[in-house]
Amino acid sequence: MARRDRRQPRGRSVRGAAFRWVPVLLVLALLGGAAAAYHYDLGTRWFGAAPDAGPTSPPVPGLTLPPVQTPRAVARPAPSGRPAPSAVRRALGPALDDPDLADLRAVVAPLSGPPVLADGRGASMPASTLKLLTATAALEVLGPDHTFATRVVAERRRSLTLVGGGDPFLAGKRPAKAAPGDASLQTLAAETARALKGRGVRAVSVSYDASLFTGPTVSPAWPDSYVADSEVSPITALWADEGIAPDGSREADPAGSAAEQFAAFLRADGVDVAGQVEERTAAPAAREVARVTSLPLADIVERVLQLSDNDGAEVLGHQTGLAVNGHGSFSGGVAAVRQTLSNLGIDLQGAKIYDGSGLSRHDRLRAETLVDVLQLASASDHPELRSVVTGLSVAAYDGSLADRFDRSPGRGWVRAKTGTLTGTSALAGLVTDARGRVLVFAFLSNHIPPTGTDDARAALDHLAATLAACRC
- List the catalytic residues: 128, 131, 308
CA nearest neighbour of 350 among 334, 340, 363:
363
- Cross-strand bridge partners of residue 444: 105, 426
Which helix (H) or strand (E) segment holds residue 418: the answer is: strand 414-421
Which helix (H) or strand (E) segment holds residue 1: the answer is: none
Q: Which DSSP state fits 376? A: H
Between CA 135 and CA 299 the distance in angstroms is 11
**Helical pair 297-307 and 131-142, crossing angle rounded to 10 deg:** 180
Q: What is the dihedral of CA 172, 358, 222, 307, to 10 degrees?
A: -30
CA nearest neighbour of 78 among 47, 111, 101:
111
Contacts of 193 (CB under 8 A, 6+ apart): 266, 269, 270, 271
Contacts of 401 (CB under 8 A, 6+ apart): 393, 394, 395, 414, 416, 418
Tell me the residue type at 415: R
Between CA 292 and CA 184 the distance in angstroms is 7
CA nearest neighbour of 464 among 423, 422, 419, 428:
428
